[in-house]
Structure 1
Amino acid sequence: MTARRALIVRGGWDGHSPVEATDLFVPFLESHGFAVRIEGSNEVYADEAAMSDTDLIVQSVTMSEISREAFAGLRTAVERGTGLAGWHGGIADSYRNTSDYLQLIGGQFATHPSKHPDICAGDETDSFLPHAIELTDLGREHDIMAGLEDFTLNTEQYWVLHDDLIDVLATTTHPVQPYHPWHRPITSPAVWTRLWGAGRVFVATPGHSLDVLRDDNVRTIIERGMLWASRTESA
């Protein structure tokens, strides 16, 4: 039996620990029959032969840039059936200057609201807020979320700009606060899937740090999301 092939592409902003974060999931992928290749540059996407043999891309590249050739290779691979999966800024805050990438993913990081200014310490914890991840009706029926219930996290709460082509499996709501300028609660997708050509895209917005990725709920969702997105699973 030929092993499925997973390609991990990691890099970008070091604050999301792309090496350590993706390393968490290598044993899981290998235990599910994937031969795992790891690349530190997204230029691998421009290698048509490599991409045609790839069943699943796991991307962890926050911000950064992507060349025209690399993006064309990524989009073509997904359209032809290669799965694309990721979490947090590694997929939802990548390649801000490439609008076609934002269309492919279906949702883009806008901000993560902060605590009250009077208690901000001037570091990343200023945006660590207790918040709920709430399953949608669709999510409760989906294999990725099977058996899970709403849960809470104390970490960055992503506010995501998105379109209607995504299938939202879980949401999070940003409340009105007197120190923020919005005037009604904002509900953002926290976990979603997207069909693109013959391919599948999976995104989970939790995952700022290793402790969040180790959370039982978050890790389960990401592991199942990777399997769901894989070409073999979607065939």
Structure 2
Amino acid sequence: MPDALVVRGGWEGHRPVEATDLFLPFLADNGFEVRVSDSTTVYSDPAVMAATDLIVQCVTMSSIEQQELAGLRAAVAAGTGFTGWHGGIADSFRASSDYLQLVGGQFATHPGKDPAARVGDETDNFLTHTVDLTAAGREHPITAGLDDFELTTEQYWVLHDDLIDVLATTTHAVQPWHPWQRPITSPAVWTRQWGQGRIVVTTPGHSLDVLRHPGVRTVIERGMLWASRTASGS
């Protein structure tokens, strides 16, 4: 039976407990023995990490100790899968360049509405946008058979490197109130090979309704199965 480790915490605005709870039944139904940790200290336990086939992380911002990050990086390099969504993986541990190198992409911002339409709450950053599958995404087991889909939520602008394999993108339009002069396309779903381990990042997932969206949920769930060490031959 494969072992999954769900690590959750950080900024409460992303509701890490409720968000990860949405996926615990899926993991159990797919044969995983699931352990849940509310602290990244578990990453520094060599025995736990060596026995873990999949890590699902939902820790927005926060910080991580050097020995914890070293344990996470070593486990992934040795074959443990690593996945998550939104700020829980793409905006974790902002002060750690070694974490950024591991994941391959970092949240930079989520552009907002026309200032005249803002009301002073989180919806000021909710834009209707499309998640567009790439040619590679239309063939990849995580996203094959899916269509492009539209969301109204935070649209992540991501800084990234060339070691990622992009399965879906989203494009930030030029607007009069923004300072950029041409559309910017950011990865919305990507995979990354790190040593023997597989990493999957899904940037949508700000709120529970987005995580329940059929397209988003399918990508996250398939990503868990694909990233797991037990699927490394597929």
Which amino acid in the other structure matches residue 99 of structure 1?
Answer: S
* Structure 1 CA distance for aligned equivalents of residues 193 and 219 of structure 2: 18
By how many angstroms is 1:147 displaced? 0.8
Partner of 1:220: 218
Partner of 2:119: 121
* Structure 1 CA distance for aligned equivalents of residues 21 and 44 of structure 2: 24
Q: Does 1:133 align with 2:150?
A: no
How large is the RMSD of aligned CA atoms in angstroms?
0.4
| 1:46 aligned residue (44, 47, 62) | 44
Alignment of 1:57-96 (within 5 A): 57-96=55-94
Partner of 1:157: 155
| 1:166 aligned residue (141, 164, 167) | 164
| 1:24 aligned residue (8, 12, 22) | 22
Q: Say which SS state the counterpart of residue 43 (structure 2) adopts.
A: helix
Which amino acid in the other structure matches residue 195 of structure 1?
Answer: Q
Which amino acid in the other structure matches residue 157 of structure 1?
Answer: Q
How big is each residue's C-alpha offset from its partner over 1:22-53, in whole Å with a ceiling of 9 and x where there is no partner?
00000000000000000000010000000000
Q: Say which SS state the counterpart of residue 9 (structure 2) adopts.
A: strand
Q: How many residues align?
A: 233
Which amino acid in the other structure matches residue 104 of structure 1?
Answer: L
Partner of 2:228: 230
* Structure 1 CA distance for aligned equivalents of residues 68 and 193 of structure 2: 20
* Structure 2 CA distance for aligned equivalents of residues 121 and 14 of structure 1: 22
Partner of 2:144: 146
Which amino acid in the other structure matches residue 51 of structure 1?
Answer: M
Q: Say which SS state the counterpart of residue 191 (structure 2) adopts.
A: strand
Which amino acid in the other structure matches residue 144 of structure 1?
Answer: I
* Structure 1 CA distance for aligned equivalents of residues 103 and 64 of structure 2: 14
Which amino acid in the other structure matches residue 47 of structure 1?
Answer: D
How big is each residue's C-alpha offset from its partner over 1:108-159, in whole Å with a ceiling of 9 and x where there is no partner?
0000000000111111000000000000000000000111011100000000
Which amino acid in the other structure matches residue 46 of structure 2?
Answer: E
Q: Say which SS state the counterpart of residue 70 (structure 1) adopts.
A: helix
* Structure 2 CA distance for aligned equivalents of residues 218 and 200 of structure 1: 19
Moved over 6 A (4+): none
Alignment of 1:94-109 (within 5 A): 94-109=92-107
Please give the TM-score of this superposition, normalised by the length of structure 1.
Answer: 0.99
- How much identity, in percent, do the aligned residues show? 70
Please give the TM-score of this superposition, normalised by the length of structure 2.
Answer: 0.99
By how many angstroms is 1:189 displaced? 0.1
Q: Say which SS state the counterpart of residue 121 (structure 1) adopts.
A: coil
How big is each residue's C-alpha offset from its partner over 1:40-78, in whole Å with a ceiling of 9 and x where there is no partner?
000100000000000000000000000000000000000
* Structure 2 CA distance for aligned equivalents of residues 157 and 33 of structure 1: 33
Where do 5+ consecutive residues of structure 1 fail to align? none
Where do 5+ consecutive residues of structure 2 fail to align? none
